[in-house]
Structure 1
Amino acid sequence: MLSHLSIQNFTLVETLDLDLKAGMTVITGETGAGKSVLLEALGQALGDRADASRVRHGCDRANIAATFELDANPRAQRWLANTDLAQPDNPSECLLRRTVTREGRSKAYINGHPATLAQLRELGDMLMDIHSQHEHQSLLIKDNHRRLLDEYAGNGALAQAVKEAYQVWHEHACAMQHRRDNADEVNARYQLVHYQVEELEQLNIQSGEIESLEQEQRELTSAEDLLQASAQALAICSDDEHGLHTGLSRALQLLRKLNDKPAALNEAEQLLSEAQIQLEEAQHSLEHFGDSFNLDPERLTWVDERLSSIYEVARKHRVAPEELAQLHSSLAQELGNLGGGDEQLEAMAREVEQLEQGYRSKAEELSAKRLKAATALSKKVNAHLKSLAMEHARLTVDCKPRHERPSAHGLEDIELLISTNPGQPPAALAKVASGGELSRVSLAIQVVAAERSAIASLVFDEVDVGIGGATADTVGRLLRQLASRGQILCVTHLAQVASKGHQHLRVAKTSSSKSAETALIELEGNAKVEELARMLGGATITEQSRAHAQQMLGDAAQA
């Protein structure tokens, strides 16, 4: 439950620190005083979109902090533990904080840790359930009827599983139908890919082959030049009369005859000796190259033809020669997917049938739970409608089967139908219910839904619009009854509802020529009586209205 709310510089509130209690807390005040400020601030703390216009005029930022007690909310405690956002020393308490700047930027914190807006919303959905005064309008949208029934029945996980099973089945069924409808195109594609794969298989390119062939082609093309150059180099080295070897030998003989040579001549002799050794090794290499090199014109022709074939196929497929191996692999895979003909279609059909069976199995389970919940929901709502001065109204949750045209939402269309007069057949809400009736139907549904809610804190924002008198008194009793299992926050303009609150907060607005400010004041004793008398009698409070207010409070305390 919400135990404390702190608001700073938000709309007309400069500073507000409010302790909240279990049971039913009512919030009242004159029109325009800002009764919804509390709920708007709560919305920011629970992850609503940041609204820079809500920052108090003249201030840089608004700050909202909400403290929740989680003793009765193990789901929220598990979520905090799993996200490492729990308070180690006090896991049963949670502090949400939100700041909004004048520029529209905002920051969120959970137990002092920075948090995303998505995290704030996800946790917020586990902490509070807010029912709006405009919620009855959503009853006119048929899709909301299914959502409402599934929420009441606790079908969330199963409904999601049905949706996912349908999507997988539908995807495979469309793929099979596409294959069937485009059989001629598929066959034509199969023939083309089959030819391309055979061509690449016959080409049979090996890893690294292209680089090796190109190197060999360069060598074979320049073979004659290589042989001629190596022969000439060998002749220069080994000529008996003018060759390099002969010249080196003569130079060494001259130096070796000298005695007492200076260091420079000794060094020269050493270098020439080393050069003679290297020259001999070079001659051996040249001789070996000339003896081993095989000038093979036929080999050159074969290499040229092989490379030409590879280049031609690469051009045909508009890829680099080095990419042909990868192309072969991808085309072979496509060929496998295209192949099979009737056999593959039969396999696809079997898979689609299995997926449909899986979907229908889940959907039938969902249908059974919906039918059971529809009976219970309509029975409870009708009981509340009777107490809300709609004695002859009968709400029906119609689950119309659609076995031949299943959807992602299941095997039935769900619609709320109502009959407001005896003998009148049920019809769509929009065609039968007036605005006031629709508001009461919505309230009855919200109360029933709240009975099943796992959330301890429920907020009702002027859901009593359009009712009064004894019906308003009944609404107050219903909300007080709900408060026995947790916490109810209720913004109301009806004294009959306000009198049922365990805690009463009054919104007061003060204005001057320079500014306006809203404050929430907790009322006790005579202050409660005065506020209820104001709500009953308007601007002029009489002893009669005070007596009536006193009686309301006495009746509520005895209930």
Structure 2
Amino acid sequence: MLSQLSVKNLAVVEKLDLSFESGMSAVTGETGAGKSILLQALSLALGVRADSNLVRHGKDKADISAVFDAGQNPRVQAFLTKQLLEDEGECILRRVITADGRSKAFINGSNVSLSIMREMGSLLIDMHGQNEHQLLLRIDHQLQLLDEFAQLESAKNGLNVIVKEYKALDKKINLLTDNQDIIEQQQALYSHQLNELNEAMLDQDELGTIEADFKISANVQTITEKASTALNQLEQESGANAQLLALSSDLSSILEMDAKLQASVELIGSAQVQVQEAIYELTQYLSQLSVNEQSAEEIEARISELYALGRKHNCPIENLLITRDELTQKLDEIGGGVGSIDAMKQQLKAIAKRYQTQAQMLSKDRVSKAQVLSDVVTEVMQILGMPGSALKVGLNEKDQGVHLNGNESVEFLVKTNAGQDFKALKKVASGGELSRISLAISVVSGDSEGPPTLIFDEVDVGISGAVAEVVGRKLQDLSKNYQIICITHLAQVAAFGRQHLRVSKTQQNDSVQTTVEQLSNAERVNEVARILGGVTITNKTRQAAEEMIKQSV
């Protein structure tokens, strides 16, 4: 639910900080006081496009923040997680509009696009009123309303998974069919390159060591000579090993005379052991060098072959096996030509059959529930002061094929008087009628998982008396499941508000200032009395207002 709204330098508002309660909040004020500024501020916080003219005259920017308590809203939590946005139980939407026309949007302190903000906003607030952003006029929203009422969202989502599978395979078939000549050329090229690599008998150990092997083979004579010379100098009779043995023996013989020589004897002994190890390693190295000796010409020929393959595939020779695997994968992705296309077409038919089975079940449920929704909304419309009116949930069959959301589109049709024909909702209903139809739909679908906050703008246009009281009662009933914010001109509706906000406009130093204040119980009585009786509030109107508020509890 919406818990706070802060507005700075927006149009006629210099600074505004409001707290909202759960249940129903009534918003009243004189005509022209600026009640619509609340809707305008919230719309901006929900991501609608902004105009620099909205920035208060003389200020460099307007700043709007809306705080929502979203800790218990799984859809909002899932969206925040998906967008990698911080979440501590609150969702804060902030919009900054500069005087030069630029705009920035933030969710929980992170800069986001307006499309992300609008998507987030659609999960938080549903506005019912006389504005172009109203969800009820959108065909896709009408489909969503029917499916939520009929509890078909899960079935529809499952169907759309099949649709995406179908479209992906169909796209692949079309691509293969339209580019068959090119694909066959690619197949021939990839097959030729793959055969070359396979014929090269690649081995990863060889690829990793062949350059070092070539360097050894090219310099084997020099290596052998120098290693042999070093070995001879170490192991000949007068060599380093013999000298170290003699020194160690001589010093050991005089240790009894002076124990301080112990460290020197140990060091010489250690050096002799190291020399002996070196003699062993050199002997082993020279024996393996002679056994594994391969001509430099042979290695050079092999490395030239590998370098040629590396240049052809634009990779170092140690990556030739990776290239071979990539070519194999590309051939697999292209498929087996015409035979593969035929197989995929058979698979596509099977997916289409599976789609039709589920789509027909969905259609059957929609037809049944569309009539139920039409009847119950029409019944509530009569109660809300629209005698002779009716709503019809129309189902229009789509062309043969596989479609997102099923085989039919949904369109709400309405007639506002008896004897009229049903026409599209957006072509028939006036602003006030549209608000009451929205209210009627909201009442009958009060258990759906829609946005937790509903805003009704002048839902009472064109009604009065007992019907207005019924509208207020219906809004109050709806507030048991939703947070309701209702901008109203009628005392009968305002009396049902758990919270009452009054909008007023003042003139200060050649500038206009709109303020919003939460009313106390006494102030609330006076405001309801003002709406009932006008500027002059009499005891009778005050008593009538008190009685009206008492009856609303």
TM range (shorter): 0.5 to 0.7
What TM-score, normalized by structure 1, do the two folds share?
A: 0.67
Give, in whole Å, the separation in 2 of the partners of 1:336 and 1:191.
13
Listed as ranges, the matches of 1:484-495 within 5 Å are: 484=477, 486=479, 488-495=484-491
SS of 1:28 mapped into structure 2: strand
2:184 to 181, 184, 187: 187
Give, in whole Å, the separation in 2 of the partners of 1:277 and 1:484.
97
Tell me what 1:480 maps to: 473
Give, in whole Å, the separation in 2 of the partners of 1:164 and 1:277.
74
SS of 2:307 mapped into structure 1: helix
Give, in whole Å, the separation in 2 of the partners of 1:291 and 1:507.
101
Aligned-pair distance for 1:192?
A: 2.2
Task: Give 2:303's aligned amino acid.
Answer: L
SS of 1:380 mapped into structure 2: helix
Give, in whole Å, the separation in 2 of the partners of 1:136 and 1:282.
87
Aligned-pair distance for 1:30?
A: 0.9
Q: CA, structure 1 residues 549+501, in 2 after alignment: closer, same or farther (shift >3 Å)? A: farther
Tell me what 1:401 maps to: 397
Do the aligned partners of 2:381 and 2:440 also contact (CA within 8 Å) in 1? no
Tell me what 1:260 maps to: none
Unaligned runs of 5+ in 1: 85-93, 257-269
Listed as ranges, the matches of 1:453-468 within 5 Å are: 453-454=446-447, 458-465=454-461, 467-468=462-463
1:162 to 159, 164, 184: 159
Do the aligned partners of 1:530 and 1:546 also contact (CA within 8 Å) in 2? no
Aligned-pair distance for 1:37?
A: 5.6
Aligned-pair distance for 1:123?
A: 9.6
Aligned-pair distance for 1:117?
A: 8.9
2:200 is the counterpart of 1:203: yes
Aligned-pair distance for 1:47?
A: 6.7
Tell me what 1:178 maps to: 175
Aligned-pair distance for 1:411?
A: 0.9
Give, in whole Å, the separation in 2 of the partners of 1:289 and 1:28.
98
What TM-score, normalized by structure 2, do the two folds share?
A: 0.67
Q: CA, structure 1 residues 238+125, in 2 after alignment: closer, same or farther (shift >3 Å)? A: closer
Aligned-pair distance for 1:105?
A: 8.6
Do the aligned partners of 2:435 and 2:456 also contact (CA within 8 Å) in 1? no
2:422 to 420, 426, 445: 426
State which drifts further: 508-517 or 285-294.
Answer: 285-294
Give, in whole Å, the separation in 2 of the partners of 1:125 and 1:449.
15
Task: Give 2:179's aligned amino acid.
Answer: N
Give, in whole Å, the separation in 2 of the partners of 1:320 and 1:199.
16
**Could you list the per-position Cα deviations for residues 490-516 of structure 1 after superposition, in whole angstroms to 9, with x for gaps in the alignment?**
211245544665765433334332774
Do the aligned partners of 2:529 and 2:545 also contact (CA within 8 Å) in 1? no
Q: CA, structure 1 residues 449+309, in 2 after alignment: closer, same or farther (shift >3 Å)? A: same
Listed as ranges, the matches of 1:197-276 within 5 Å are: 197-210=194-207, 212-223=209-220
Do the aligned partners of 1:417 and 1:429 also contact (CA within 8 Å) in 2? yes
Listed as ranges, the matches of 1:127-526 within 5 Å are: 129-134=126-131, 141-210=138-207, 212-223=209-220, 299-386=295-382, 391-402=387-398, 404-419=400-415, 425-429=421-425, 433=428, 436=430, 439-454=432-447, 458-465=454-461, 467-469=462-464, 474-484=467-477, 486=479, 488-495=484-491, 497-498=493-494, 505-513=501-509, 516=513, 518=515, 519-522=517-520, 523-525=523-525
Do the aligned partners of 1:10 and 1:41 also contact (CA within 8 Å) in 2? no
Give the number of aligned pairs. Answer: 505
Do the aligned partners of 2:75 and 2:123 also contact (CA within 8 Å) in 1? no
Task: Give 1:480's aligned amino acid.
Answer: R
Q: CA, structure 1 residues 495+194, in 2 after alignment: closer, same or farther (shift >3 Å)? A: same
SS of 1:31 mapped into structure 2: coil
- Identity of counterpart residues, as a percentage? 25
Aligned-pair distance for 1:168?
A: 2.2
Give, in whole Å, the separation in 2 of the partners of 1:120 and 1:403.
34
Task: Give 2:473's aligned amino acid.
Answer: R
SS of 2:295 mapped into structure 1: helix
Do the aligned partners of 2:385 and 2:467 also contact (CA within 8 Å) in 1? no
SS of 1:208 mapped into structure 2: helix
Aligned-pair distance for 1:457?
A: 5.7
Task: Give 2:206's aligned amino acid.
Answer: E
Aligned-pair distance for 1:386?
A: 4.3
Task: Give 2:436's aligned amino acid.
Answer: L
Q: CA, structure 1 residues 483+343, in 2 after alignment: closer, same or farther (shift >3 Å)? A: same
Do the aligned partners of 1:139 and 1:145 also contact (CA within 8 Å) in 2? yes
State which drifts further: 95-104 or 305-314.
Answer: 95-104
**Could you list the per-position Cα deviations for residues 459-517 of structure 1 after superposition, in whole angstroms to 9, with x for gaps in the alignment?**
3122334x2456xx525413313413535432112455446657654333343327746
Aligned-pair distance for 1:6?
A: 8.3
State which drifts further: 118-127 or 6-15.
Answer: 118-127
Do the aligned partners of 2:472 and 2:494 also contact (CA within 8 Å) in 1? no
Q: CA, structure 1 residues 79+281, in 2 after alignment: closer, same or farther (shift >3 Å)? A: closer
**Could you list the per-position Cα deviations for residues 20-55 of structure 1 after superposition, in whole angstroms to 9, with x for gaps in the alignment?**
575x543221123233466667779x9778999589
Give, in whole Å, the separation in 2 of the partners of 1:229 and 1:95.
77
Q: CA, structure 1 residues 293+149, in 2 after alignment: closer, same or farther (shift >3 Å)? A: closer
Give, in whole Å, the separation in 1 of the partners of 2:545 and 2:292.
121
Do the aligned partners of 1:507 and 1:520 also contact (CA within 8 Å) in 2? no
SS of 2:34 mapped into structure 1: coil
State which drifts further: 11-20 or 184-193.
Answer: 11-20
Question: CA-atom RMSD, angstroms?
Answer: 5.9
Q: CA, structure 1 residues 210+151, in 2 after alignment: closer, same or farther (shift >3 Å)? A: closer
Unaligned runs of 5+ in 2: 82-88, 251-264
SS of 2:530 mapped into structure 1: helix
Q: CA, structure 1 residues 353+462, in 2 after alignment: closer, same or farther (shift >3 Å)? A: same
Give, in whole Å, the separation in 1 of the partners of 2:285 and 2:545.
123
Do the aligned partners of 1:136 and 1:439 also contact (CA within 8 Å) in 2? no
Aligned-pair distance for 1:307?
A: 2.0
Tell me what 2:35 maps to: 35
Aligned-pair distance for 1:319?
A: 2.4
